[in-house]
Amino acid sequence: MIAVALRNLRHRPGGFVATFLSAFLGAALIMAFASLLDTASGADAASNESLVTTASVGGGWCLVIVAFAVTSTLTLAVRQRDQQFALLRSVGATGPQLRRMIVGEAVAVALLASAVAVPVGWALGRVLVDLLQNTGQVASTIDPVFGPVALGAGFGVTLTGSLVAAVATARRTAARDRRRQRPLLRRIGAGLFLLIGANCALLTATLMDGKGIDAMQTAGQAGIWAAIGLALLAPELLRLVTAVLGPVVRLFGAPGELALSGPRLSSAVMPVLLFTGIATGTVYMQGIEDRAAAGQIQPAYAQDIQTLNYVVVGMVTVFVAIMLVNTLIAATTHRRREFAQQRLAGATRGQVTGMVALEGVLITVTGVLGGLVASLFTVLPFGSARAGRVWPDASPAAFGIVAAIAVVLTASALVQTARRTLHGPATAAVRA
């Protein structure tokens, strides 16, 4: 079956683009941050500390997001190949053989992606060191090193993440009686992450009170854990938002009714939620810090952290944007047949696009509201610890910008893919 796996990769590379992209970007980012640790090993004490802080904060963030992104794209990509699996079954492939094929493909893609990521990770690592040198946090005499830690972490994380995701997906796919995902396990996981997030938030507000900028570490984590917890609850949140907004969506006539009754795209909520949560949380946290620190003597690494926070926000934005586009393209292309059936039932292209747009509204509202809640896990305790006030004294403009980016990303990805999927006559598409 490994041979089939490799042939699939060679002859149908299109199906692996999404998985490859997220693995590649993830590996490159992790390598870049991990290479700071390589660089740190030969540096003076101050530079060393600066490098290690940057690597662990940035790298940790990447780790979580990358593991999440690789897992979700891989799962999605595999789930769309039902037909191929059914075909293989009909010519005699057993469950374990299918499993080996799926895992084999995933490992091959991860290896390839990590290998291609090496030069990019190397270059990004240099950029990071440059950045730290420019702000005077790292001695300018230090040469960036790209060594075993970078390679180990890059390959290790990407391969492990892909492997775990592939095994989990393969088990679900190869099982004869296809049960739907296990909502109980997912909900328990969500509860756990939210608890960890709440715990971090509590720690920030109590233990870290008065510790100044150091409170950022626990505050930042609180937001990430909460965002992941809420992202795992995406199906429930989307259902809730759909129920609340249902009457409004229904006003749009048939496209609205279709949007409400169609398959729920909860997988697309996740990237929107993560993006909104992390970006909003980080930006407001840094804002609180800037105001609190104004006129005070700052520890040397305060600037590190400021730089880093904005780098992280930028990175997360790019990464999540790609993930979002990936997810939406995969999910929408998969609906080619559904769209064609709607058109044969009398829907115009405009009506189908309208339905997709309304679904996009539901997704975005869910993601942005969920992200806002997650960001409060960071912002409220940090404000209380650093500035002595829970609700930040900041304008909502930054959140508005984050939300606007989320809207633009979702809308453009969805509508573009829907347009492409609607191209050509419905009679041909329905057979595909």
Q: Least distance (Å) from another protein to the CB of residue 426?
A: 7
Q: Which amino acid is at 392?
A: P
For another protein, which is the closer residue by CB, 156 or 262?
A: 262
Q: Residue 281's closest CA among 412, 394, 183, 188?
A: 394
> Closest distance between another protein and the C-beta of residue 251, in Å?
13
From the list 225, 282, 277, 287, the residue with the least C-alpha distance to 406 is 277
Give me 55's structure tokens: 């690597």
Three-point CA angle 77, 83, 85, nearest 5°: 80
**CB of 91 vs another protein, minimal distance in Å:** 22
Please say whether the beta carbons of 321 and 411 come within 8 A: no
The least CB distance from residue 255 to another protein, in Å, is: 8
Give the nearer residue to another protein in terms of CB position, either 240 or 344.
Answer: 344
Taking the complex as a whole, the smallest distance from the CB of residue 47 to another protein amounts, in Å, to 58
Q: At 81, is the secondary structure helix, strand, or coil?
A: coil
Distance between CA atoms of 297 and 165, rounded to whole angstroms? 47
Cα–Cα distances in angstroms (integers) from residue 322 to residues 73, 86, 309, in the given order: 11, 30, 20
Residue numbers of the site for another protein (CB under 8 A)? 253-254, 257, 261-263, 338, 341-351, 425-427, 430
d(CA 332, CA 280): 28
User: Smallest Cα–Cα separation from 287: which of 160, 184, 197, 401?
Assistant: 401
C-alpha 49/C-alpha 137 separation (Å) is 9
Residue 259 or 312: the one with the smaller Cβ distance to another protein is 259
At residue 335, the 3 state secondary structure works out as coil
Q: Which of 306, 353, 277 is nearest to 64 (CA)?
A: 277
Q: Least distance in Å: CB of 268 to another protein? A: 16
Q: How far is the CB of 318 from another protein (least distance, A)?
A: 34
> What is the nearest approach in angstroms of another protein to the Cβ of residue 345?
5
Nearer to another protein, 100 or 335 (CB): 335
| 319 token code pair | 């990464």
Which structure tokens are listed for 343? 């058109």
> 298 vs 341, which CB is nearer to another protein?
341
What residues contact residue 415 under an 8 Å CB cut-off, 6+ apart? 353, 356, 357, 360
Query: Between residues 206 and 427, which has the closer beta carbon with respect to another protein?
Result: 427
CB of 38 to another protein, least distance (A): 52
Q: CB-wise, 195 or 344, nearer to another protein?
A: 344
Closest to another protein by CB, 315 vs 426, is 426
Minimum CB distance to another protein smaller for 123 or for 254: 254
CB nearer to another protein: pick between 261 and 296: 261
How far is it, in rounded angstroms, from Cα 275 to Cα 366?
12
Q: For 267-294, give one letter per residue: b (16+ CB within 10 A) or e.
A: bbbbbbbbbbbbbbbbbbbbbbbeebbe
How is residue 297 annotated by DSSP?
P
**Shortest reach from residue 348's CB to another protein, in Å:** 4
